[in-house]
Amino acid sequence: MTINEIRSKYLKFFEQKGHTIIPSASLVPQNDPTTLFTGSGMQPMIPYLLGERHPLGTRITDSQKSFREVDIDEVGDNRHTTFFEMLGNWSLGDYFKREQIPWMFEFLTQELGIDPQNLYVTVFAGEPSIGVPQDDESIDIWKEMFASVGIDAEFVSIGSEADGYRLGMRGGRIFAYDVSKNWWSRAGKPANMPVGEPGGPDSEMFYDFGTPHDPKYGAQCHPNCDCGRFMEIGNNVFMEFIKRESGFEKLAQRNVDFGGGLERLAAAAQGNPDVFVAVDALSEIVTLLEHFSGKEYNDSRYQKSFRVIADHMRAATMMLGDGVRPSNTERGYVLRRLIRRAAQHAQKLGIPQDQNEESMLNRCAILIIEKYKQAYPELASEEAYELITSEIWKEEKQFGKALEVGMREFEKIAATGHIEASEAFTLFTTYGFPFEMTLELARERNIDVDTDGFEREMKKHRDLSRAGSEQKFKGGLADTSEKTTRLHTAHHLLLKALQTVLGPEVHQRGSNITQERLRIDFSYGSKLTKEQIAEVEKIVNEKIKEELPVTRSTLPKEEAEKLGAEHEFGAKYPDMVSVYSIGPKEATSEDPEFSSAFSIEFCGGPHVQNTKELAGVFKIQKEEAVASGIRRIKAVLL
């Protein structure tokens, strides 16, 4: 089955179980300053897991585009990818374990045709310190499912991952692991969860490829072993807890959050652990590269390069389709890194850079567009096609120039007969010269490179970046913090004030809100004057003093657009949208007096109920340019 067929089967299966199919959210998250990219299917669903009513009901299913930057350096084996699709189904206070587990067993064994003899599952072993017991209910249901196909499923309590390597399988099919493996929240283990974060026990499903255990990973094999025998293909999260200052409490509603990697499900359905063969969109890129390079994918000297190009170009194409552009900061830097790494590995395969836009990377992107445009219509237009291919080509050309400069610097350093760690690090950070290329060229010249020192330099660099990121995002989750909620409402007031002072052509182009401050990027061609900044501050503070009600409404997207509701550039919205208005009237198209509202925006929340809750003085701290035609404001409530 192709990925389009598997995705379609999954969505139709849950639609028949009473679920509404919703479109994927953008890879660029809305109203979440804690992360650059949407990295899981549940990320856009947080407000509804916490109890907010979803406009389309209590049963939802989707295929969510996801990207995990932390996996960039892992790409090269047979299963790691940076971009992936997370198939999801959601119960928002509706059904629970008794429905979810049998449905997943049915989907895997009957819809995908997976042999149940190759399925193994894990459950939560319990954690006394937070008052959550072992998940005996899930154990019993899984036993029933396996028994229905003639399999006597033995239960084995393992504990930690380390215990798994020590104790092994012991004839089990259902295994209990501790909080390090079978508890799910965005922050990981309960101890790492910030106050206000939801989470709960989970039950994961693994496919057994039957490959021999590699003892370098541990003495014994078990479902969470990294040797390659087992692959996790889905996770049923039973999200019924929330962390409070005093400990863990039950959420107002019990939720199911299932996430299954589409690529891994394809691998299991075909019994092939290599996603670059099992996933047709990736395998076709591999075939394309084989044709133009004359190299074979199964040649171990080149296999990593095939995989890196296929993965990185798929991720880059999807990012470009969601409005990300190459730059030296944040999302744009990640995109730039993906394209340049792909270009570097194309050179390793001996594929020269074309002198026009029909480059090899663009050929890969065009293939991805064709494969995914039906599922993700934002890729389907001629405008999207032109934009994606032109941006990739521009980046390739810039990288080619950077390599020329970097090569000159490399030759100067190489003439000394040794490359110090600091020199290799400068080549990488200042000239964009990949370390892998430094190593390769140094080997050709029999020159030593301080590889260990370079890794230490890179670790310091990553630690500094991470610390900067933690400082930047200090204040935790935008969805649950009172301070962040107040600044979120102030953000709406600010955007409308900017439009009032500068003109209606001003639109939001990005935002970032923490407990300490708000940040907005907006379209405007010149620096704001002191008088304009003062007038914007005055308008916002007036609206705070006017004690305006803040009202949430759920409308068809078309109606909200007719009302002139502001929405973020490049963002995707479902057919039914959440709209927040600030002012005396609720956002409803039937209300002829609706125009008296001060601000109207597409938004999932959260917000204060009245501007008087902002209880402070709004102050703009900084106004600056971030790109051509894009300005940035940082502001606070004092």
Query: Does the pLDDT of residue 159 top 90, yes or no?
Result: yes
- Here the tokens at position 68 are 């995990």
Looking at the predicted structure, is the pLDDT value of residue 586 above 70? no
Percent helix, percent strand, percent coil in the chain, to nearest 5: 45, 20, 35
Question: Whose CA is closest to 11, among 21, 1, 26?
Answer: 21
What is the pLDDT averaged over residues 562-581?
74
- Whole-angstrom Cα distance, residue 282 to residue 84? 11
Q: Is residue 410 part of a domain?
A: no
Question: Which residues have a Cβ under 8 Å from the Cβ of 532 and sit 6 or more positions away?
Answer: 501, 502
pLDDT, position 479: 47
Residues 6+ apart with CB under 8 A from 270: 1, 278
What is the domain-level CATH number for residue 219? Answer: 3.30.930.10
Residue ending a domain, among 275, 294, 320, is: 275
Q: Rank 308-317, 377-386, 405-414 by mean pLDDT and report only the highest.
A: 308-317
If we measure between CA atoms, which residue out of 326, 309, 608, 637 comes closest to residue 485?
608
**In 3-state terms, what secondary structure has residue 545?**
helix
Split into its structural domains, the chain has a count of 4
Q: How far apart are CA 97 and CA 49, in angstroms?
A: 16
In three-state secondary structure terms, 300 is coil
What ranges in 445-593 are assigned the alpha helix state H?
451-472, 482-502, 530-545, 557-562
* Mean pLDDT across 515-539: 92
Q: Which residues of 618-630 are buried (b: 16+ CB within 10 A; e: fewer)?
A: bebeebeeeeeee
> How confident is the model at residue 162, as a pLDDT?
94
Cis omega (within 30 of 0) on the bond before 606? Answer: yes
Q: How confident is the model at residue 568 (pLDDT cuts 50, 70, 90)?
A: low
Residues 181 and 201 placed together within one structural domain of the fold: yes
Strands (E) across 471-629 are located at 508-513, 518-523, 550-556, 576-582, 599-602, 618-627
> Can you give the residue range of the structural domain that contains 568?
482-637
pLDDT over 70 for what percent of the chain? Answer: 92
Any domain includes 237: yes
pLDDT of residue 563 exceeding 70, the answer is yes
408 domain-assigned: no
As a whole number of angstroms, the distance between CA 38 and CA 35 comes to 7
Average pLDDT on 84-111 reads 97
Do 211 and 319 share a structural domain? no
Q: What is the pLDDT of residue 355?
A: 62
Residue 54: per-residue pLDDT: 87
More confident: 591 or 121: 121
Q: Are residues 255 and 130 in the same domain?
A: yes
Q: Is residue 593 over pLDDT 50?
A: no
Indicate if the pLDDT at residue 128 is higher than 70.
Answer: yes
What confidence score (pLDDT) does residue 464 get?
63
Residue 3: DSSP 8-state: H
Query: Torsions phi, psi of 456, nearest 5?
Result: -65, -40
CB 389 within 8 A of CB 358: no
pLDDT attached to residue 569: 55
Q: What is the mean pLDDT of residues 116-137?
A: 96
The torsion of the CA quartet 332, 335, 337, 340, rounded to 10 degrees, works out to -120
Higher per-residue pLDDT: 376 or 554: 376
422 shares its domain with 510: no
Specify the pLDDT at position 570: 54
- On the CB side of 608, CA atoms within 13 Å amount to 24
What pLDDT score does 552 carry? 81
Same domain, 270 and 289: no
From first CA to last CA, the distance across the chain in angstroms is 58
Whether residues 83 and 219 fall in one domain: yes
305 with 245, same domain?
Answer: no
Residues 84 and 53 in one domain: yes
Check whether 97 has a pLDDT greater than 90.
Answer: yes
Q: Is the pLDDT of residue 588 over 60?
A: no
- Specify whether 193 is located in the same domain as 138: yes
CATH, residue 627: 3.30.980.10
pLDDT of residue 595: 58
Residue 409 lies in a domain: no
Structure tokens at 581: 């208005």
Give the model's pLDDT for residue 480: 54
Name the phi and psi angles at 41, rounded to 5: -70, -25
Average pLDDT over residues 232-244: 95
**In a domain? residue 219:** yes
- Residue 587: per-residue pLDDT: 44
Asked if residue 592 has pLDDT above 60, the reply is no
Confirm whether 342 is domain-assigned.
yes
Q: What confidence score (pLDDT) does residue 468 get? A: 45
pLDDT at residue 212, rounded to an integer = 95
Residue where a domain stops, chosen among 242, 275, 308? 275
Using the predicted structure, report yes or no on whether residue 572 has a pLDDT greater than 70: no
β-pairing, 119-124 vs 174-177, is parallel
H or E, element range at 256? strand 247-261
Pairing of strands 448-449, 418-419: parallel
430: Cβ contacts below 8 Å, ≥ 6 apart: none
Same domain as 271, residue 130: yes
Which among 227, 254, 275 is the end of a domain? 275
Q: 3-state DSSP call for residue 208? A: strand
Tell me the range of 12-16, 445-449, 555-559, 571-575 where mean pLDDT is highest. 12-16
Return mean pLDDT, the chain. Answer: 89
Residue length of the chain: 638
Query: Using the 8-state DSSP alphabet, how is residue 132 labeled?
Result: B
Answer whether residue 53 shows pLDDT above 90: no
CB 596 within 8 A of CB 583: yes
616: confidence class by pLDDT, cuts 50, 70, 90: confident
327-357 tens-digit pLDDT: 877 888 889 989 989 998 998 899 877 666 6
**DSSP H helical ranges for 115-173:** 136-147, 161-167
Which pLDDT value is given to residue 473?
39
What pLDDT digit, counting tens, does each position of 469-515 carry?
444 433 333 445 688 889 999 999 999 999 999 999 998 877 788 88
Verify that 207 and 292 share a domain, yes or no.
Answer: no
* Highest averaged pLDDT of the listed ranges 32-41, 429-438, 610-619: 610-619
> Angle 384-388-391 (CA atoms, 0-180°, nearest 5)?
135
- pLDDT exceeds 90 at position 440: no
Least confident stretch, 197-211, 311-325, 527-541, 555-569: 555-569
Same structural domain, 313 and 233: no
pLDDT beyond 70 at 237 = yes
The reported pLDDT for the residue numbered 187 is: 82
Confidence of residue 531 (pLDDT cuts 50, 70, 90): very high
